[in-house]
Every structure is written in structure tokens, then in C-alpha cells.
Structure 1
Amino acid sequence: MTAALTEKGTLPAPVAAPPPAVRGKRRRGPDRDVPRWQIYLPLCLYLLFTLVPFYWMLLFALRPAGSNALVPWPVTGEHFHKVWNERSFGVFFQNSMTVGVSSLVMTTAVALAGGYALARFDFAVKNGFMLALLTSQFIPGALMLVPLFEIFKNLQMINSLGSVVIAETVFQLPLSIILLSGFVKNVPVSLEEQAWVDGCGRFRAFCAVVLPLLRPGLIAVGSFAFVHSWNHFLFALMFLSSQDRQTIPVGLNTLIGADSVDLGALAAGGVIAAVPVVIVFAFIQKWLTTGFSAGAVKG
């Protein structure tokens, strides 16, 4: 016999042979092979669309004044020397760095405490508080200028970098708290309970067990706070009046005259403003993606 009998004496059911592969047709489904050109062509177009403005900015910043060449040759640094020394961009850079780092520290610290409280404790107005945080994202920052100006005026904080730091922190806290709250929820409570059993208090258990696991979320929130503070224009323009207190976005605005614009100096200032942001994202892109995706799983 060509096939063995089963225990009941019947032949096993024949197994249907897979259909022959058809040349020229791809299998349908989510796991089908996609031609590489369908992936790389859109990516190249997007990369071209993104990099052309940067190249144009570098072109104006590096080529001599009055040149119309499409290649920055000979390369000159006169525009950078002009904006850094004559237009006080060294002072602007220092002020922007102070505002960015201070906003990063304050936003991360307060958001960490608020996110942990929302994730671990239940209280009467928890849902209402979360709703208030979410709805606050629909309020544009321009509507906050007048009340914040009156508050800082009464506190005698006008023309102080501290006023910009506080304004930036308040503006970024709702989203930061929501993100860190979702990230803390992904950390099992049992890890803290084991530390409590070993004799640790809540704060010590948080620092020893939970805080190391929140590193991607903290990096994501901190980088977002730094970049937003670095690029924000309205608060610095409204609260800082003297030139020695201005930040880079306000300094770039001073390069635009009523009748003419120094394109070389403006492009050089734009390069100086973009370099810290590019460096930040180049070093923390992995942590940034992990932090935002993990914090959005549970809100």
C-alpha cells in the first residue's frame, strides 16, 4: 500500500498541495515584498525637500557678499564673524542656552512629580485635572502674554531671563506631565512594592527602582522642553527689552531691517541657531522616539 492506514482502517485525508507560484505576481498581504524603489523614492524626495532649505542657508552664510554662485566657493566666515561680534550673537547664544537649560531642568522636575502622582495615586479631581491638562493644549501662547506680563511686572521680573524661564516652563508642563504619566504607568507597581518590602521608603524606592526606568521618557521631555525654549520667540520678545538680555530668535529678528535685509548675516545667524538643535536630536534620537512612543501607550 502507498499510504499507511489509520487506527480506524481508513486512509488519511489527502493534504492539498499549495498552488503553484505565478511569475510576475506578488503575494497579497501585510508581509508581501515591497520593491525597494517604492521605499527609497519617497524618502529621497522628502530628504531633498528637507535639506534644500538648509543648503540654501549654508550657501548664503558661507559665500562672499555679492556672490551669486550656487556653490559656496571660496568659503568665507565673514558673516559669522559679523553676527557673533558686531551683532552680539555671542550674548544671544549665552542667553538662549541659559533659558533652554533652565527650562529643561524645571520642566522635567515638575513634570516628573506631577506625572508620578497622576500614575500612582487616586484622588477626587484626578479626571478633571487630566481634562484641564488636555484642554490647556488648545490655548495658544499668544493669549498668555498679557496676563503673564502683568504678573511679571508686579513681581518686578520684566527684562529678566527668569521670567522667560517661568513662562516656558508653565507653557510646556501640561504635555510633559501627560507624557511622563503614561510612561510611569508602564513601570509595574510590583517593582516598587518589592523595594518597600526590603525596607525602602517611597522616595528611596522611586529613586532606586523607578527613576532609572524613566530615562527615555525624561530625555524625551527634557529635549522637547529645551528645543521649544530655544526656538520660542514671543515670550522673549515680550518680556526682554534690553539687548544684553535677548535670545537668538529675537536677535535674528533684529537682522531684518525696514528697507533691506543682510541675507548673509541672517543666514549665518540661522546656522548658529540651528546647530545646537541638530546636535541634540543627533545624540538623543533613539531615546526621543522610545520616550514619546512609550509615554503615549497609556495616558
Structure 2
Amino acid sequence: MTRLTTKTAGGQADAEAPDPAAAPPRPPAARRRAAVKRRRNDENVRKWEIWLPLGLYLLFTLIPFYWMLLYAFRPNGTTGLAPWPLTLDHLRHVWTDIGFGTYFANSVKVGVISMFATTFVALAGGYGLARYDFRGRKTFMLAMLCTQFIPGALMLVPLFEIFKKLELVNSLWSVIVAETVFQLPLSLILISGFIRNVPMELEEAAWVDGASRLRGFLVTVLPLLRPGLIAVSSFAFIHSWNHFLFALMFLSDQEKYTVPVGLSYTIGESGSDLGSLAAGGVVAALPVIVIFALIQRYLVKGLSAGAVKG
């Protein structure tokens, strides 16, 4: 908008007159509504930029699960894209005839014992790394981190010889020990980071009140580590549940197979029976899905807590 000025006879500028061709000023309420509208349009654009790739990724991820469920619950001889009528014959076949009930129990035993052993040892070691300053601590942490770059396949022969001398071959304890050892370095580093985020003053206050170091840790630090411990424990269990290599190499009796090993032999035992193979996949995937559904909020909170510092 331009302003027109007129001068009087004395040469003084008179009051400015508005340009008739300029648009009239918008009232404040209209400007606010326009700003809100622009902000909503920007938010809608950002939502599409986020949800569109996430939706495509989710679709790409869920299609294999859908086909697995389709073959697992669809009767043989049908070709529909919906599992109807539903049948549990494939699940019943793999659970009883093939032996997935035994495989499932073995995997639960390996996963639970490995989870508790890994969490307990990592908690004790992580506390020492977080609260004590000793010579070689950083070197030790670096060594623990570097072990994550070593493939487990390189350690199969040495581990087999060790377990053979200890008479642990063809025993679930060989798989439990191997899983615990290979998961311990990362779990120790994560828990060490979680403990560093807990102020030392809380423990010192407990010591002043007469608590020992162990009791001070149990009362002040351990309750605050719950999200981190849940994250570490869940990763330890899921890794032990899904790991295939150690169970394949150290176990020879079919009664001691875990779910991944039993699933690999389903192809040979069932031939081209895709329904049995898909039902075995459902048995293998269901516990992992349930665990993530139950602990996902603790998992995100625990990982974010350990990533703040340390």
C-alpha cells in the first residue's frame, strides 16, 4: 500500500492520503485465521511426508507375515487370498507330529536362562565400570565393543572343542553358555551407560543413612534401571530365541532341538507342505511379537536413557 502526500501553500506536507488502488488492510482476526490455515497446511504436508514412507515400509514388512498366516490357517487345496475357512490342522501337525512342542520348551529354557544370566552378569560388571575408575577401564570397554565385530561362526570350532572337553556337547547348556558369552559385551556396555545416568548422590545419601553399598544400590539405583534392564533382557531373550547357528552345531538329538533348528528340518520332513512350514513360522514368531507388544514402551525408554551420555 502506498501513501499520497499533499503540500499546502506554505510547502508543508499535509496528512497522507491512502492510495485508492491499494488493497484495504486486513483485520487482525482475518490475519490470524490465515496464519492458522497456513500452519495447518504445513502440518498436513509434514504428516504426509512422514506417514507415506512409513506406510509403504509397513506394507512391505507385513506382506510376508500375511502370507505366512494365510498358509498356516488355510486348508490344503484352497487358493483364496483369505484364510477361510480357518483350520488348525497345520498347527496341530507341527506341534504334535513334528515335535514343535518339545522344540518350543527347549527354546524357552535356553532363552530364559540366557536372559537371566546375561542380565545379572552385565548388571554386576556394568556397575563396576560405571562407578569405579581403574586403570585400563577404557581399554576394557573398547575391547568389549570390538568383540561385537567378530562373527560367531569363527568361534564354532574352538567352542566345540571346549564343550567337548567339558562334556557339554549335545546339551542345552552348551547353547546357553555360548549365547550368554556372546550377548554379554553389548549388554554390559548398555547397562554401564544406564548406571552412569543415575546420580551418584543418591547412593551417597543412602550410605549416609547407614546403608551398605549393596543395599544402597538395591534401594536407590536398581529401581531407576527398570527400563534399561527390560531392554537388555528382552534383547538377550530374543537373540537366544532366534539364534540358529549355535543350536545347530552343538545339538545332535532331535529331542533337544530349538525352534529355529526344528523349523529348518520342517522342509525335509514335510516335503512341499507349505502349510506346516508356515505354521512352524507362526510358532517361532509369536513369542517375539508378544514380547515386543508388551515391552515396547519400556524398550524405547530404556534405549533412550542409555543414549544420553556415557
CA distance in 2, matches of 1:148, 1:297: 36
Paired residue type of 1:273: A
**Which is greater in Rg?**
2
After superposition, where does 1:246-265 map in structure 2 within 5 Å? 246-257=257-268, 260-265=271-276
Is the 2:270–2:276 contact (alpha carbons within 8 Å) kept by the matching residues of 1? no
User: Of Structure 1 and Structure 2, which has the larger fraction of its residues in helix?
Assistant: 2
Matched, 1:178 2:189: yes
- The residue that corresponds to 1:237 in the other structure is 248
- The residue that corresponds to 1:33 in the other structure is 43
- The residue that corresponds to 2:24 in the other structure is none
Deviations 1:33-69 (A, max 9, x none): 3423333222221221111111100000011112221
- The residue that corresponds to 1:284 in the other structure is 295
SS in 2 for 1:256: helix
Matched, 1:164 2:178: no
- The residue that corresponds to 1:134 in the other structure is 145
Deviations 1:195-226 (A, max 9, x none): 00000010010011100000001000000000
CA distance in 2, matches of 1:25, 1:191: 50
After superposition, where does 1:113-132 map in structure 2 within 5 Å? 113-132=124-143
CA distance in 2, matches of 1:132, 1:191: 30
CA distance in 2, matches of 1:259, 1:57: 16
Q: List runs of 5+ in structure 1 lacking aligned partners.
A: 1-17
| TM-score between both structures, scaled by the size of structure 1 | 0.88
After superposition, where does 1:1-299 map in structure 2 within 5 Å? 33-35=43-45, 36-257=47-268, 260-299=271-310
Is the 2:144–2:186 contact (alpha carbons within 8 Å) kept by the matching residues of 1? yes
CA distance in 2, matches of 1:188, 1:121: 14
Deviations 1:3-55 (A, max 9, x none): xxxxxxxxxxxxxxx9x78889957xxxx634233332222212211111111
Is the 1:255–1:261 contact (alpha carbons within 8 Å) kept by the matching residues of 2? no
Aligned residues: 277
CA distance in 2, matches of 1:25, 1:88: 62
- Give the % identical residues: 65
Alpha-carbon deviation of 1:121?
0.3
Is the 1:216–1:291 contact (alpha carbons within 8 Å) kept by the matching residues of 2? yes
SS in 2 for 1:70: coil
CA distance in 2, matches of 1:109, 1:40: 40
**What root-mean-square deviation, in Å, do the aligned CA atoms of Structure 1 and Structure 2 show?**
1.9
CA distance in 1, matches of 2:291, 2:89: 26
Alpha-carbon deviation of 1:288?
0.5
Alpha-carbon deviation of 1:127?
1.1
Deviations 1:222-244 (A, max 9, x none): 00000000000000001111011
CA distance in 2, matches of 1:187, 1:268: 45
| TM-score between both structures, scaled by the size of structure 2 | 0.85
Deviations 1:161-181 (A, max 9, x none): 111011000010111011000
Deviations 1:256-282 (A, max 9, x none): 229943211010000011111011000
CA distance in 2, matches of 1:85, 1:253: 17
Deviations 1:107-137 (A, max 9, x none): 0000001111110001111011011011111
SS in 2 for 1:84: helix
Is the 1:252–1:270 contact (alpha carbons within 8 Å) kept by the matching residues of 2? yes
